[in-house]
């Protein structure tokens, strides 16, 4: 017993073709975007962290508390997180990441933060008006001295750098 054989009609073929166009086009666009991303060198690329421009203020109080600033550039294809800063050249060996908000009349409030994200392809410029690292200076620091720091990143690991001791009024600060 054989029944009538199934034959595609023009309408069925046209409907099938129209239904396949959208997913095929979406796959083609996604493949093109991934190809461009790979050609730009970002595929599988982790963070590429560079630390420069280190400065640390010569303290102007008896407490010895002061602030250090760095320029952190991430030229990689993935963000990274600064989790801690250490220095054998400071008292206490570990700095505190702090964010300052200006409240007017040249006053600011500071708040400790656990970590700071440096997104892929971006740069973080620390300053007294934003993010800094609070440290306790040794008594023998002088303007022009170099202070060693280690910045600890979640993915990039430890990055050794230096900061020059400057007066708080230098560079317009």
Backbone angles phi, psi at 167, to 5 degrees: -75, 145
Look over the chain and give the mean of its residue pLDDT values, rounded to a whole number.
87
CA gap 152, 96 in Å, rounded? 12
Quote the DSSP letter at residue 149. E
The predicted pLDDT at position 62 comes to 80
Query: Residue 163's closest CA among 54, 60, 74?
Result: 54
CATH of domain 49-172: 2.60.40.1890
Higher pLDDT, 83 or 15: 83
Q: What is the per-residue pLDDT across 56-78, written as a single tens digit (0 to 9) for each?
A: 999 987 888 999 999 999 999 89
Query: Residue 55's closest CA among 141, 127, 103?
Result: 127
Neighbours of 106 (CB within 10 A): 6
The predicted pLDDT at position 45 comes to 79
Percentage of the chain beyond pLDDT 90 is 55
Which tokens is 76 given?
Answer: 């990689």
Q: What is the per-residue pLDDT across 68-126, written as a single tens digit (0 to 9) for each?
A: 999 999 999 899 999 999 999 999 889 999 997 767 666 667 789 999 999 999 999 99
CA gap 163, 141 in Å, rounded? 12
Domain spans, the chain: 9-43, 49-172
CA gap 114, 128 in Å, rounded? 18
Long-range pairs for 140-145: beta carbons < 8 A, 24 or more residues apart: 141/58, 141/59, 141/165, 142/58, 143/58, 143/167
């Amino acid at each position: 017993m054989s029944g009538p054989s199934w034959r595609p009609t023009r309408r069925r073929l046209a409907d099938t073709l129209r239904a396949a166009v959208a997913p095929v086009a979406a796959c083609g666009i996604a493949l093109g975007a991934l190809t461009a991303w790979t050609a730009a060198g970002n595929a599988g690329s982790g963070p590429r962290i560079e630390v420069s421009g280190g400065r640390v203020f010569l303290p102007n109080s008896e407490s010895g508390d002061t602030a250090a600033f760095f320029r952190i550039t991430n030229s990689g294809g993935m963000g990274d997180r600064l989790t801690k800063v250490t220095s054998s050249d400071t008292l206490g060996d570990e700095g505190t990441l702090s964010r300052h908000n200006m409240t007017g009349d040249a006053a600011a409030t500071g708040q400790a933060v656990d970590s700071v994200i440096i997104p892929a392809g971006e740069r973080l410029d620390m300053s007294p008006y934003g993010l800094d690292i609070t440290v306790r200076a040794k008594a023998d620091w002088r303007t022009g001295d170099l202070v060693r720091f280690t910045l600890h990143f979640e993915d990039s690991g430890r990055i050794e750098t230096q900061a020059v001791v400057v007066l708080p009024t230098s560079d317009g600060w």
